[in-house]
Chain A
């Protein structure tokens, strides 16, 4: 394998001034970094999964709302008496009231975490 002297000299100069083993991290340093990143990855996994979770919540809300609307339209529920059926609809409405802010908070926080 031949290598011209000038080429070798040039390469040596280029690499020696840019990439030497004493300018690189040690093995222990790399191990510590990997450990730190693995922990961070586990924490971030939860953040990365949040949008999916928030979408799931939103789907629950939409289904609940649609079910409520269908029940009301069917005439099974009469919203002017102390009917048990009306209480069920009331509970569903309450659930919706709790779900909407919860889903909003989750979406906003997950976005913030992603930005950070």
Chain B
């Protein structure tokens, strides 16, 4: 089951009424996927990701009264993120050469890769992040540990503080939910 829109709307209403706990909950729900989304948009530049991540949250809060709920909240957040990234690339001082570690260089285009292939690869990653953002935190965490970080089921269960059987069951449900969310995200992406 995906994060319900009603729940999102309720959190947003509470935030607009000044509820700090609701704000904390919303950040808890979407801070990781937003960071990952920006990380891919900014080609793995962690410094820029840190800066834009904060800028996006701040801009989101200011624009929150204008969120009508026509789209999913995270889709709206991603639209703000894209605008902020575009703004950043418009600023000339942002083209300074930065040192990147080996891991972040994975996000840069491979020399043997065509630009179109690189774009498709990046768009796929963004779709995966959006699909994961639509899942409840437990599903997202189990998939991240098992497949993102490559932990065994046993290690995953230990880190999530659940039994082996419960981790297996959660993993199975998370995989199913992820497949549904991914196909829905791809469909929405094609419609845009």
Task: Answer yes or no: are A and B bound together in one complex.
Answer: yes
Q: Which residues of A contact B35 (CB under 8 A)?
A: 23-25
Partner of B128, one of A18, A25, A29, A45: A18
Q: Which residues of A contact B61 (CB under 8 A)?
A: 37, 40-41, 44
Chain B interface extent, by class: 35 or more
Instruction: Let me know if A1 and B168 touch, CB within 8 A.
Output: yes
Interface-facing stretch out of A7-15, A54-62, A83-91, A93-101: A7-15
Instruction: Let me know if A37 and B27 touch, CB within 8 A.
Output: yes
Partner of A34, one of B23, B50, B143: B23
- The digit string for B108-146, where 1 denotes a CB below 8 A from any CB of A, is 000000000000010011101100100000000001110
Chain A interface extent, by class: 20 to 34
Verify if A81 is at the interface (C-beta below 8 Å from B).
Answer: no
A38 to B22: give the CA distance in the assembly, Å: 10
Within 8 A of A (CB), among B74-92: none
Verify if B15 is at the interface (C-beta below 8 Å from A).
Answer: yes
A114 to B65: give the CA distance in the assembly, Å: 8
List 16 additional A-B contacts (Cβ < 8 Å) besides A3-B175, A18-B125, A48-B16.
Answer: A3-B172, A11-B178, A14-B124, A14-B147, A15-B132, A15-B143, A19-B36, A19-B132, A20-B148, A25-B35, A29-B50, A37-B27, A37-B57, A37-B58, A38-B20, A45-B18
